[in-house]
Each structure stands twice: as C-alpha cells, then as structure tokens.
Structure 1
Amino acid sequence: MSDGFTLTRIEGVTARLVPFAWEWARDNAALISENWRRRCAARSGLFDGRVLLARSCRLEGAFCSVELFETSYASFITHKDLGSPDPTVLNAFAAIAPHGSDGAVLLGVMGAHTANAGQAYFPCGTPDLDDVRDGDTVDLAGSAEREFVEETGMALPADAQNQWLLLCGKSQAAFLRPVTFPNQANALRQDMERHRLTEIEPELAGFVTVASSDEIDLQSMPDFVQAYLRYAFPSSSASASSNG
C-alpha cells in the first residue's frame, strides 16, 4: 500500500502489558519536560496521565499480537512531536471506522482545547491503564468500542462486522474495525452532533463525512486516516488506470 503504510486484513488483535524501561524517554527527560511546558502554555487543561505504547507488534496467522508498556503522556507526545525518533517504539491503538449505509465515512474533529486540535480522525484514544484487564491483558478492541460510544453516543449495530484492518507505518500500528450503520452518513453525523451538544466539555468540535478520496484534507487528517480513505475510496483515475 502507498502512503508509507502497509495494510493487512486480520481477524483480531491480542495485547498485553509488559515491563519495559524506555531508554529514549530516560535519556531525553529534560527535552520532554520543556516540550510539555511549551504545550501546556499553548493549551491549558492538558493532563500528563499514563498511556501505553508498543514495543512489539507481530502477525501470527490471521491475528496480531502486541506488547505494550506504560509511559507518561508527556513522553509520548514529545516523541510524536519530534517525528518518533525511536524506531523501536510504536503508537498502537484501535478505532471503529464508522461508515453510513451510503458508504461515506465519519470522522471526529478534535476540539481547540485538545493536544490534537483541529485534526480529523476516527473517534479513538491512546490506550491507557483503564484498558488493562486481568493483570496484563490490554483490551484494545474494547477500548475502540468504548471510545466510539463515549464520543458519539451511538452503540454499534447488533450485526456489526468484526473484521479488522492493520495499518502499519510511520511509527504507528492502527487497528481499524470498519463498521457499517443502517443510516446514511449525514443522518449519523446529525445524531452524533446531538450527543456532542449534550456533553459539558466535549472533546470533539464536530464531525465531518468523507465520501471520496478527493475529499481528503492533507492538513487536518493524519496520515493513517488518509491511507484508510484511499483504501476505502480508490480514486476513479486510479481505477481507470488499473483497468487499462
């Protein structure tokens, strides 16, 4: 696949929490502290909680296994801001990719008070300690559904597909579960917006629909979202070329 990502269809993902001393974070403690100070000065309300990053991601047949370790959000965001200089560490996360019955995809736009203000991507979050079950099992699939329900107010359809796509590249491992809803995308967006307006401090500023790869916004949509949208909506010119 293009865009610097590989795309693999998988049936599921298993993840576990492992002890790991992240040397890059230790060696760059002063840089992390200064970057966090700068970010907090730009946007008040940021919280340096504990998050989970991946030290390995392995395909095993139709499934993928991930080993995650605990670190500070400040370390994670600094590593991301610097272009992920430690190639041994991945930002691994899971998300529901919602489609309307008309095929269009819905994205949430991050609010101005968040670390990723203005970016448009699937409702999701970086895994954290709330996703750990039974000691060391990390429920990535459950995290994806929980984040989706919290941010959109919508439950998944009873017959929702449970197939996954792994988009891997640019120091990311995005586990995406495409789910098609019975209503068209614009109706879904209106329902999601009504839920957002009931929240006291909504994380999202709104929602957008995308029905074509021509609607990709290079400025607001992260690389993994652009890669998924090009997969979901092959351009007519590319289709014509491939058909000769």
Structure 2
Amino acid sequence: MSAYEPPRIEEVDELIFKIEDRGWAFASDQAAAIDRHWQKLREANSHLFNGRVFLNFERVLERRNDRRVLSGVAAAVDFKAFLAWRDFGFPDVKTRNCFAMAALVSADGAFMLGRMSDSTANAGKIYFPAGTPDLSDVVGDQLDLEGSVARELLEETGIAADEVAFDAGWRVVFEGPRIACMKITRSPLAASEIEARFRAFARTQEKPEFSALHPVYSKEDLVEGRMPDFTLRYLRSELSKA
C-alpha cells in the first residue's frame, strides 16, 4: 500500500509556508551516496549547480473563517540532496516537494507549457513555468509562492507579471511526494503570439530553461511520459470543464 494519501486536487485560497532552519536526516544519513550520485549527474550534465532549495516538512489544509488555507513548514536543503531524494525513489515519505506553477492560458484557450532544455535536471519533460522554491523566493520568514510564480514565468518565458492576469486562489494537486500549486495565469495573447514572444526571448538567453512551448487545447495534446502525473491530472481536470 502507498505511503501517500490518494492523489487529489483541492481548491485553496491561501498558501502560508513558514521557513525553519532544521536538519534533514536523509541528507545526513545518505551524505556519501548523495555525493556519488551528484558526481554522476555532473559528469552527464556539467550545467547543474548545487544551490539551496526548499522542501516541505509539515503541512495542514484547514478552513480559517471562510478561507481554505494550506500552511506548513519549509526548510532549505542542498539541491544535490533534493535530486538524490527524487532519484532514489523518495525514501523519506514525510517530506514533500511543494512548489508553485504558472498555469499559463492563452487568449484562445490553450494551456501553455514548456519543454525543458537539455541543460536542465528535467531535460525533455513538459511543465508549466515553475521551479522548486529557492532562496530568491524568501520574504521575511515565509516562502512567497505567488512571487515564485511571477519570477519563474519571467525567467522561463520572458513574460512579465504586468502582462498577464493572475486568478485568485490556487488549485493544488497532491500527487505522492509532490504538491503542485497551480496559479491560473491569463494572457491577452493567442497561443501563436505567445510562442513567437517566447522564441524571441529564448534567442537572447545563453541557456534557456525551455527549448520550446507546448500548447494544450484538448486532451489529445497531452503527452504521457513527458508530462508528470500531477500535470496530467490537473490538465485533465481543467479540460473536462470545457
């Protein structure tokens, strides 16, 4: 039986993740194995950088007055430890990778995802603009996941926050060790115009994170194997409303 709760999608009004400085038993207990794994990853892809990212160690979804709030604790870990945890099959089942995604929607109704470049840790995968929270997502003693959405959108597509409209609230996908917080992000441009904007932006980047955009108008545009389970679950749910 799975150690995780059944996958589901929840409507959430607010995300509150406070930052704590705490150790991670997986990282300390598996330090040698993590270093060996990192060395192999770096040999295959020298562009990888061992920064600090935030994982989620505690969480609760509750109603506060008339709002549904997902709150919890985040702590910084080495990126190499995060990748080892992922690649070793998520051995610490109490920990989650909780992150925010810009669910970018074109004016003509396409969800706009990107294909990850070969220089990234998820080469070839198809995602919304997103990233595991890092030190640039810290505001005071909390993670600013709304700010993370805007930052990742700009860094990966060249589209600034003032060029789109963000829906209130989140649709949060709980999928095993991942918690994907989807923020609907509406563009006034058609899919073809967004793609043209992206291509012009990508030409200015030495190592763009996306190699191309992938519009999804219907379930026929979904790509099993390249889109993660949480992305497929979210898109099927949204497309079923059409």
Shared fold (TM-score greater than 0.5)? yes
1:107 and 1:158 mapped to 2: Cα distance?
15
1:223 and 1:211 mapped to 2: Cα distance?
18
1:31 and 1:162 mapped to 2: Cα distance?
42
Instruction: Tell me if the contact between 1:213 and 1:235 (Cα under 8 Å) persists in the aligned partners.
Output: no
**Offset of residue 168 of structure 1:** 0.8
1:27 and 1:229 mapped to 2: Cα distance?
38
Task: State which of 32, 35, 39 in structure 1 corresponds to 2:34.
Answer: 32
**Offset of residue 185 of structure 1:** 1.7
Q: Where do residues 208-227 of structure 1 align in structure 2 (5 Å cutoff)?
A: 208-227=214-233
Alignment pair present for 1:228 and 2:234: yes
**Offset of residue 159 of structure 1:** 4.4
- Correspondence for 1:113: 119
- Correspondence for 2:57: 55
Letter in 2 for 1:206: A
Task: State which of 17, 20, 25 in structure 2 corresponds to 1:18.
Answer: 20
- Correspondence for 1:241: none
Q: Deviations over 1:141-190 (max 9, x none)?
A: 10111110121111244643222111112101111101222222222122
**Offset of residue 102 of structure 1:** 2.1
**Offset of residue 233 of structure 1:** 1.3
Q: Where do residues 37-48 of structure 1 align in structure 2 (5 Å cutoff)?
A: 37-48=39-50
Alignment pair present for 1:93 and 2:99: yes
Indicate the RMSD between aligned Cα atoms, in angstroms: 1.6
2:164 and 2:116 mapped to 1: Cα distance?
28
Letter in 2 for 1:13: L
- Correspondence for 2:79: 73
Q: Per the alignment, in what secondary structure is the counterpart of residue 203 of structure 2?
A: helix
1:57 and 1:227 mapped to 2: Cα distance?
21
Q: What is the TM-score with the length of structure 1 in the denominator? A: 0.90
Q: Deviations over 1:101-147 (max 9, x none)?
A: 2221111111111111111101111111221122x211111011111
Label 1:39 to 1:182 Cα distance change in 2 as closer, same or farther (>3 A): same
Q: Unmatched 5+ residue regions in structure 2? A: 1-5
Instruction: Tell me if the contact between 2:14 and 2:70 (Cα under 8 Å) persists in the aligned partners.
Output: yes
Moved more, 173-182 or 68-77: 173-182
**Offset of residue 77 of structure 1:** 0.4
2:52 and 2:201 mapped to 1: Cα distance?
28
Instruction: Tell me if the contact between 1:12 and 1:64 (Cα under 8 Å) persists in the aligned partners.
Output: yes
1:60 and 1:158 mapped to 2: Cα distance?
30
- Correspondence for 2:3: none
Alignment size in residue pairs? 232
1:90 and 1:163 mapped to 2: Cα distance?
21
> How many percent of aligned residue pairs carry the same amino acid?
33
1:178 and 1:44 mapped to 2: Cα distance?
34
- Correspondence for 2:192: 186
2:166 and 2:57 mapped to 1: Cα distance?
30
- Correspondence for 1:9: 11
Instruction: Tell me if the contact between 1:212 and 1:235 (Cα under 8 Å) persists in the aligned partners.
Output: no
Letter in 1 for 2:229: D
Alignment pair present for 1:200 and 2:206: yes
Instruction: Tell me if the contact between 1:214 and 1:235 (Cα under 8 Å) persists in the aligned partners.
Output: no
Q: What is the TM-score with the length of structure 2 in the denominator? A: 0.90
- Correspondence for 2:168: 162
1:104 and 1:204 mapped to 2: Cα distance?
17
